[in-house]
Amino acid sequence: MAKVSVNDPSARGQVLDLAQCSRSLCGILRMQSKYPEASETLTESRGQFFKIGHVLDAAECSENLDGIVC
């Protein structure tokens, strides 16, 4: 992923869209029993949410990761 300035509202929106899409992809991977890929995707999504300050979304990713790992 290219580096973007999270101070730029347009860039923040792009990162948010990417993080939300990644989180949705994780759900699909989990349904396909592709747990390592789901975990990796969700970890990346969590990092993107933290990057733009969406702490609640990042926490939800962490909670979902717990369900994959356990």
User: pLDDT tens-digit profile of 2-26?
Assistant: 455 667 888 888 999 999 999 999 9
Residue 52 phi/psi, 5-degree rounding, is -100, 5
Domain boundaries, the chain: 16-69
The pLDDT confidence band at residue 1, using thresholds 50, 70 and 90, is: very low
| Residue positions counted in the chain | 70
CA distances to 11, 21, 34, 38 from 16, rounded to whole Å, are 9, 8, 24, 18
- Which stretch of 7-16, 17-26, 28-37, 58-67 has the lowest confidence by average pLDDT? 7-16
Which pTM value belongs to this model? 0.80
Q: Report the chain's mean pLDDT, rounded to a whole number.
A: 88
